[in-house]
Structure 1
Amino acid sequence: MMLDSALRVGRLFTGEQFLDDHAVLLSQGRIEDVVPAAQLPSGLPVEDLGPDLLLVPGFVDAQVNGGGGVLFNEAPDLAGAMAIAETHRRFGATAMLPTFITDADAPRARAVVAIRQALAERRPGIAGIHLEGPFLCRARKGAHAADLIRPMSDADVDSLLELGLDTVLLTVAAENATPKQIRRLSDAGIIVSLGHSDASYEIASAAADAGARGITHLFNAMSQFGHRGPGLVGAALDHGALWCGLIADGHHVHAAAARVALRAKKGPARLFLISDAMPPAGAPGDTFTLSGRRVTRKGSRLTLDDGTLAGCDLTMDAAVRHAVSAFDVPLGEALRMASLYPAMFLRLDHDRGRIAPGYCGDLVLLSPKLQVEGVWIAGQGRREPRAPGVSAA
């Protein structure tokens, strides 16, 4: 066993349990072992992170439109993707899917090429791509451009199967993609998520039975729960195979609705945290352009001029804090919602979401107030407090 270094900390969360006064042994960017501090090998370089801090698995964000002043749709290239990843790294996201929303074919193709390059070059923080649209429902378009929304064709499926990426998350409206199309995509490894959809409970359940794996930002831009028509929300909570992304920013989902959903969700799939972040996340500036329309930040709320919510300035550490304080989620479960559960949804949990032997050395150091104090990706990092005055929700 050739060890590179060790991180010693007062408290550690493995993804399963809390441990006091332990150390993480690192070797070539991966976790070799987790041991009590008293059992640290002699002669090994050890960084003592302090007795009052908490070391946790790196956060995994499946939906990141932008950050640091950059919108992926406006900068669908390697530099744009990496600027977003570097911003969200400061807030604990060690793996993320840059999210490209409904747009023209040419910039969408450039976005795919950029992510393919990032993965080939092993750029830190990039785990794949999220394509949100254009196969959505116009009635539930949210901030997406209505004129570019369309049903999925078999030719679209053929094109998606040729993207050449291991991790592709695709948001579709259940009524705009057939079960046969969803099955083809799912069988090929594409992760299909249902969202921006007015589908009935029955149509959504059929899509899940055909292989759809998730729900994009639960409650938002979808048919709601009713006692005679449970809608997509009802299918999301009642179907055990559907993982549900949840925006914990205090604007997109009422705390009571989140608490009810957490109690109601049928397993084994679970609710997990996403940022749905836009350019203002981790950056100054209160306006930006989305598909030619102005978006304004007032407080921590982002809206189009007509009042439509248009993403968030949320970061994953802030989402964890909100889940604990507003949703009454125990800290360990909130941390799982930010790391292990999204990793499971994206089929990355063999490598991410836990502090355990064999896993990637993606780690986040948190203060007692759950503020990020340091971040490591593949064992590389340092204590790196967030810049003062830059905050999310």
Structure 2
Amino acid sequence: MSLTLADARIVTPEGVHEGWLTIEDGRITHVGHGSAPRPGHGLGGRHVVPGFVDMHNHGGAGGSFPAGEPDGAREAVALHQRHGTTTMVASLVTDSLDRLSRAAASLAELCDDGLLAGIHFEGPYISKARCGAHDPALLREPSPQEVAGLIKAGRGHVRMLTIAGELPGALDTIRMAAAEGVIAALGHSDASYDRTLAGIEAGATVATHLYNAMPQLGHRAPGPIAALLQDERVTVELINDGVHVHPAMLTLACEVAGPGRTALITDSISATGLSDGEYLLGPMRVGVVGGVARLVDGGSIAGSTLTMDVAFRRSVQELGLSLPDAAQVASLTPARVLGLADQVGSIAVGKSADLVVLSDELEVAGVMRRGAWIAEPR
């Protein structure tokens, strides 16, 4: 079956052009300029960007990935798909090894079905001083053998492990994870500048939600932020929800790392898409007030209620990114980090037809995944 989308402003890494594209068997077969050569589905001049890729997401619509419940996980995926996220990694939080293994095994089934692009262990191998919304009583020192067991539980679908590089055993664990094809991400860390560099040398390539849950930049003790921003081997995650990070610091990160090393994430939790109230994030109770999630006990920020379309829109309207750069940080860069850039992340011939149609105000008007409409534009 062939479908042509016409009268569109298509956003590619090369720029924005008025044109059309053709989709066959779920893949993009042509990307053209000007008028389409055949009648198609007219988009009325609206923008088309690649489907968003969220590599750090804990849930939504009441479903929590750390709970490991398939039905709730499917509800979370469906919510984020409606907001334009067509590729998503399920992030877990600190818990007992048994519960983490069971959640990973359950979520692996959704990876087998193609609903999820992998599993992320955010904890338990993180700093007690920077644990944020993680239960400090469940934190552990990493060992390659123990982490290998968690990776095995995910049946080949574990994509990422967040680790505090200063912990005993961290560097050997980072080396093991990298050798197994699992992304080692430095975060929830109290490490010095030099210790962070050692983690990067060991094979870490991602900064888990840069700025959050790590020491602030200091002119005599630069800490992890400077090391992660400066090193060309590292991609930095950013939460652009107006709560986690001041826009000036988001702009600084984008300017230093550039769109090729910057990945927007949501860090969203089960409350996303729902009203204020009390929710669970793993074993921790979270209260949401005014859309902002904080631990009931202690008040630490506990993830977000962000969706990727909002993060994309804020990046253009508040940070001043161009549409191609915004598409890169929301789609292509995270796709590259996940090893999926040959399949998703940009609008190009041969790639999956994962697309988001946006209004002039950059509101979602339609979403397509693998050539099928999730929300068809009118």
Mapped contact 2:119–2:157 kept (Cα < 8 A) = no
Quote how far apart the aligned CAs of 1:33 are.
1.5
Residue ranges of structure 1 left out of the alignment (5+ in a row): 386-393
Q: 1:329 Cα deviation (Å)?
A: 1.9
Matches within 5 A, 1:273-288: 273-288=264-279
Query: In structure 2, what is the equivalent of residue 249 of structure 1?
Result: 241
> 1: CA distance between counterparts of 2:306 and 2:216?
24
* Residue 263 (structure 1) shift: 2.0
Letter of the structure 1 residue corresponding to residue 10 of structure 2: L
Contact 2:57 2:89 in 1 (8 A): yes
Q: Shift of residue 84 of structure 1? A: 0.9
Percent identical residues: 37
The corresponding residue for 2:7 is 9
Q: Using the alignment, how far apart are the partners of 2:62 and 2:259 within structure 1?
A: 37
Q: What amino acid does structure 1 have at the position aligned with 2:72?
A: G
Q: How does 1:286-365 map to 2 (within 5 A)?
A: 286-305=277-296, 306-365=298-357
Partner residue, 1:153: 143
1:203 maps onto 2:195 in alignment: yes
Local SS of the residue matching 1:349: coil
In the alignment, the residues of structure 2 paired with residue 166 and residue 302 of structure 1 have an alpha-carbon distance, to the nearest angstrom, of: 28
User: Counterpart of 1:113?
Assistant: 105
Q: Would the aligned equivalents of 2:239 and 2:265 in 1 still touch at CA under 8 Å?
A: yes
1:146 Cα deviation after fit: 0.4
The answer (yes or no) to whether the contact 1:77–1:110 under 8 Å persists in 2 is: no
Q: Report whether the alignment pairs 1:46 with 2:40.
A: yes
3-state secondary structure, aligned to 2:53:
strand
Secondary structure in 1 matching 2:35 = helix
Q: Which is worse superposed, 242-251 or 374-383?
A: 374-383
- Residue 120 of structure 1: how far off its partner (Å): 2.1
Partner of 1:169 in structure 2? 160
Distance 2:134 2:269 in 1: 13
**Count of residues paired in the alignment:** 374
Q: Secondary structure at the match of 2:228?
A: helix
Alpha-carbon RMSD: 1.9
Is the contact between residue 259 and residue 329 of structure 2 (CA under 8 Å) also seen in structure 1?
Answer: no
| TM-score of the aligned structures, taking structure 2 as reference length | 0.94
Q: How far apart, in 1, do the equivalents of 2:142 and 2:151 lie? A: 13
How big is the shift at 1:260?
1.8
- Give the secondary structure class of the aligned counterpart of 1:289: strand
- TM-score normalised to the size of structure 1? 0.90
Provide the C-alpha distance between the structure 2 equivalents of 1:321 and 1:336, rounded to a whole number of angstroms: 13
Give the deviation of 1:269 after TM superposition.
5.1
CA distance 1:294–1:117, change in 2 (3 Å): closer
- Identify which range, 318-327 or 158-167, moves more after superposition: 158-167
Give the distance between the partners of 2:281 and 2:313, measured in 1 at CA.
Answer: 28
Q: After the TM superposition, which segments of 4 or more aligned residues of structure 1 sit over 6 Å from their partners? A: none
Q: How does 1:122-271 map to 2 (within 5 A)?
A: 122-123=114-115, 126-162=116-152, 163-166=154-157, 168-176=159-167, 177-265=169-257, 270-271=261-262
What amino acid is aligned across from residue 380 of structure 1 in structure 2?
A
Rounded to whole Å, the distance in 2 between the matches of 1:245 and 1:377 is 24
| 3-state SS of paired residue (2:303) | strand
SS of 1:343's equivalent? helix
Query: For structure 1, which segment, 92-101 or 108-117, has the greater mean C-alpha deviation from structure 2 after superposition?
Result: 108-117
Letter of the structure 2 residue corresponding to residue 36 of structure 1: H
How far does residue 32 in structure 1 lie from its aligned partner after superposition? 1.1
Q: Displacement, 1:243?
A: 0.4
Question: Which is further off, 236-245 or 320-329?
Answer: 320-329
Superimposed CA distance per residue, residues 50-99 of structure 1 (whole angstroms, 9 cap, x where no aligned partner)? 22x1111000001111111222223x032222111101011110000111
Q: Is the 8 A contact 1:127 1:167 kept in 2?
A: no
Q: Name 1:390's counterpart in structure 2.
A: none
Asked if structure 2 preserves the Cα contact closer than 8 Å seen for 1:15 and 1:353, the reply is no
**Alpha-carbon distance in structure 2 between the residues aligned to 1:143 and 1:154:** 25
Between stretches 364-373 and 175-184, larger displacement belongs to 175-184
Find the partner of 1:30 among 18, 27, 34. 27
How far apart are 1:178 and its partner, in Å?
3.0
Compute the displacement of 1:39 (Å): 4.6
Instruction: Call closer, same or farther: CA 1:32–1:112 in 2, change over 3 Å.
Output: same
Question: Residue by residue, what CA displacement relative to the aligned partner does 1:133-160 show, whole Å, maximum 9, x if unpaired?
Answer: 1000000000000011111013213324
Alpha carbons of structure 1 residues 373 and 269: separation in structure 2 relative to 1, 3 Å:
closer
In the alignment, the residues of structure 1 paired with residue 23 and residue 202 of structure 2 have an alpha-carbon distance, to the nearest angstrom, of 41
Alignment of 1:45-124 (within 5 A): 46-51=40-45, 53-74=46-67, 76-123=68-115
The letter of the residue matching 1:353 is: G
Tell me if the contact between 1:167 and 1:346 (Cα under 8 Å) persists in the aligned partners.
no
Q: 1:3-26: per-residue Cα shift (whole Å, max 9, x none)?
A: 521222321112332110x22211
Gaps of 5+ in 2: none
